[in-house]
Amino acid sequence: MTGISSKPIIIDGQGHLLGRLSALIAKTLLHGQRVVVVRCEGICISGSFFRSKLKYLSFLRKRCNREPQAWAVPLPCPEQDPLAHSAGHGVLTRPSGAPWPWTGLKMFEGVPPPYDRKKRMVVPSALRVLRLNPRRKYCTLGRLGHEVGWKYQNVIESLEMKRKAKAALYYKDKKRDRKLFAEAKVQLAKQIETNAESDSELWLPGVMITCSVIKLLGGTKKKKKKKKKKKKKKRKKKKKKKKKKKKKKK
């Protein structure tokens, strides 16, 4: 991380390893940078699903002998798991008088509306594809949570399908607009070359521009050369006039 910005870093959790990702999140939070993690249900845990499930069930059975009800663990959901792991990396420690680092962390299942139109980042040092041996088993937080008590797997899947369909339409329109803009640019350049001298209007699909506007913007290279020649001629004429006036005075 090169520096701290006022805007939060948005990380797409899909396909990241839990331990590595939570370590990096903890480090960035301790620096004072705000972090948002989306698609937490796609975060991976190395090891077989059965082993991870047994570990999580044993964690849910933990109680305090003095007050068993007060120390009961809440129902699991994928967005709470990275927070618990990053807490182990020192996020719950703070200097005196400073705010808690974990207040700058937000985590979501799926991609909610404020963040679906923003750029999402990836952490290469925590990606499962790059860091885990392809033969090794792994499981996702979404599947683990669903088996242990999380009830919203189907809801998140349907919302994600809708979001991806919307994104595909938007990207299709964007590609079409880019193509039209590139074609219009080429067409406009040709028309400028032919109609540079006259102050006629140039019409394009969805674009209307006059040659006077082009002159204000600087015009083409040919026009610039012509302007320079005209300026030189004007200077020469002025010099000749000055010389004639001096001769008359004498």
- Residue-wise pLDDT tens digits, 14-49: 999 999 999 999 889 888 899 999 999 999 999 999
Question: Residue 11: phi, psi to the nearest 5?
Answer: -110, 130
> What is the share, in percent, of the chain residues with pLDDT greater than 70?
75
The letter for the amino acid at 244 is K
Tell me, what's the pLDDT at 60?
A: 82
Most confident of 27-36, 125-134, 185-194: 125-134
State which residues form the domain around 63.
9-151
Q: Going along the chain, which residue ranges are E strands?
A: 9-12, 35-38, 44-46, 105-107, 138-140, 201-204, 207-210
Residues 7 and 3: their CA atoms lie apart, in Å, by: 12
The predicted structure's pLDDT at residue 231: 77
Q: How many residues does the chain have?
A: 250
Query: Does residue 54 belong to any structural domain of this protein?
Result: yes
In a domain, residue 111? The reply is yes
What mean pLDDT is predicted for residues 68-86?
69
State in Å, rounded, how far the first CA of the chain is from the last one. Answer: 78
CB 57, CB 148: distance < 8 Å: yes
If one counts the domains in the chain, the total is 1
Q: What single-letter DSSP state applies at residue 7?
A: S
CB count within 10 Å of CB 62 equals 10
User: Of residues 41 and 211, which shows the higher confidence score?
Assistant: 41
89 falls within a domain: yes
Q: What's the CATH code of the domain at 72?
A: 3.90.1180.10
Residue closest to 140 by CA, chosen among 78, 88, 84, 83? 78
Residue 237 in domain = no
**190, part of any domain:** no
pLDDT band for position 215 (50/70/90)? very low
Asked if residue 35 is part of any domain, the answer here is yes
In this model, does residue 218 exceed pLDDT 90?
Answer: no
Specify the long-range contacts of residues 1-9, CB closer than 8 Å, at least 24 apart: 1/28, 1/31, 1/33, 4/31, 4/32, 4/33, 5/33, 7/34, 8/33, 8/34, 8/35, 8/36, 8/104, 8/106, 9/33, 9/34, 9/35, 9/36, 9/121
Q: How far apart are CA 58 and CA 67, in angstroms?
A: 18
pLDDT of residue 48: 95
**pLDDT exceeds 60 at position 156:** yes
Q: Please report which confidence band the pLDDT of residue 94 belongs to, taking 50, 70 and 90 as the band edges.
A: low
In a domain, 109, yes or no: yes
DSSP 165-188: HHHHHHHHHHHHHHHHHHHHHHHH
pLDDT at 210 over 90: no
Does the pLDDT value for residue 127 go beyond 50? yes
Confidence at residue 86, expressed as pLDDT on a 0 to 100 scale: 66
In the predicted structure, residue 1 carries a pLDDT above the cut 60: no
Residue 250 is predicted with a pLDDT of 59
Cα distances (Å, whole numbers) of residue 5 to 17, 35, 99, 115: 25, 11, 17, 17
| Sign of the CA dihedral running 113, 114, 118, 124 | negative
CA 80/CA 99 separation, integer angstroms: 20
Q: Please state, rounded to an integer, the average pLDDT across all residues of the chain.
A: 80
- Answer yes or no: is 136 within a domain: yes
Average pLDDT of span 57-80: 75
Q: pLDDT confidence of 212, banded at 50, 70, 90?
A: very low
Higher pLDDT, 227 or 215: 227
pLDDT at 67 exceeding the cut of 60 = yes
Is pLDDT larger for residue 38 or for residue 197?
38
Contact predicate 82/26, CB 8 Å: no
Q: What is the pLDDT of residue 193?
A: 76
